[in-house]
Chain A
Amino acid sequence: METEEDRLVVKRVLAGDRQAFAVLVERHQGRVRQVCLGMLGNPAAADDAAQEAFLKAYRSLAAFRGDAAFSTWLTRLATNHCLDVLRAEARRPTSSWDALLEADGERVERLLKGDPDPAAAAEAADLAGRLLAVLPEQQRAALLLCETEGLSYEEIAEALACSVDSVKARLRRARRTLEEKLRHFMDQKIV
């Protein structure tokens, strides 16, 4: 099980094998980068945030108790780091939905149809991140924790320091917004 292997790698790192941390970075960077891109919407800022999230994880590795999966702990850390970045910079979405869909309509269509070209994967992730980043930040955070880690309402509420009802409301609004805005592309037979 990958989760069990993560715990063993964590043990090795804590025993002094710094290089073992590279295994965790390699294994989880895709998800962390996706979360950061979804939260911040800007690839450069997302890359910085993802790096900082991993460094924070390394520095506080002794605090990982193992009661949740390492990937969950890491994703929560990355999400909260991004929320701190957004608060510190009082950042607002860099583009409106309409502007984004107008500028990148064809790419959105390819994204939602699932371009099989592996070379398009990075571009797709970038575009998906920018779509998600147009949502209000608390909705974004709840949705990313739900969709990338499969956390329960209670776990998301704990991670974001809010009530379960707030989590449900945020998820509902986020999904409704995405479906409404992307309905045109979805009606064109997403596989």
Chain B
Amino acid sequence: MEEDLDPAAQERWSRLSKRLFAAPPADPAFTARIMARIEAEAPRGLLERLFDSLQPAPMFGLAAVAAALIIMLAGGAETVGAEDLLLADAGEGATAWLASPAAPEPDDLLAMALERR
């Protein structure tokens, strides 16, 4: 690459280039900004949106979420609350239904789903 420079010029250039082309140290904040943009632009699937919206209600746990989805997948007009709400408004509606007094206990939800299957 440097074949068009004489040895003295090559030596001078080598010393100069070491100074001019040294990369700056890595900045964690820079990495964080890039990853935040990537996350913000990422398409969110139904499951991810449901998990995101249920974050403030940890008492329901993954069992309740899984049960609600199983009910949705299994179908059934009697459980129209879970299915319609999850399909129409994955986050808010499901949270509201699960929080309502009418919602079964997580173990019952699972049992209902298995029965339906």
Contacts and interface: CB of A to CB of B under 8 A. Distances in A.
A50 B15 contact: no
B102 interface: no
Contacts of A62: none
Contacts, number: 102
Interface string B1-43: 1001100010011011111111111111011011101110010
A148 to B, nearest CB: 6
A30 B35 contact: no
Interface string B49-79: 0000000000000000000000000000000
A30 B34 contact: no
A131 B20 contact: yes
Interface in A138-182: 144, 146-148, 150, 152-153, 168, 172, 175, 178-179, 182
A50 B22 contact: no
Contact of A148 (B16, B19, B21, B35): B21
A54 to B, nearest CB: 5
A54 B30 CA distance: 11
Given A29-B30, A30-B25, A150-B1, A21 B20 contact: no
A173 B39 CA distance: 43
A186 B34 contact: no
Interface residues of B, number: 29
B30 A146 contact: no
Contacts of A26: 26, 28, 31
A190 B38 contact: no
A90 interface: no
Contacts of B39: 18
Interface string A110-154: 011010001001101110100110000000000010111010110
Contacts of B42: 18
B35 A21 contact: yes
Given A55-B38, A179-B12, A29 B20 contact: no
Given A121-B22, A122-B24, A146-B1, A33 B30 contact: yes
Given A121-B25, A128-B22, A51 B15 contact: no
Given A18-B35, A21-B35, A51-B33, 20 more contacts: A30-B23, A47-B30, A50-B30, A54-B34, A55-B38, A58-B38, A112-B19, A121-B25, A122-B24, A122-B25, A124-B22, A128-B19, A128-B21, A128-B22, A153-B1, A175-B5, A179-B16, A182-B16, A186-B12, A190-B15
Q: Ordered nearest first, which 4 A-B pairs have the shortest CB separation? A: A30-B23, A125-B24, A147-B21, A34-B23
27 contacts: A18-B35, A19-B35, A22-B35, A25-B31, A26-B26, A30-B23, A30-B24, A34-B23, A51-B34, A54-B34, A55-B38, A111-B20, A112-B16, A121-B22, A121-B24, A122-B24, A124-B19, A124-B24, A128-B21, A147-B20, A147-B21, A148-B21, A148-B23, A178-B20, A179-B12, A190-B19, A191-B15
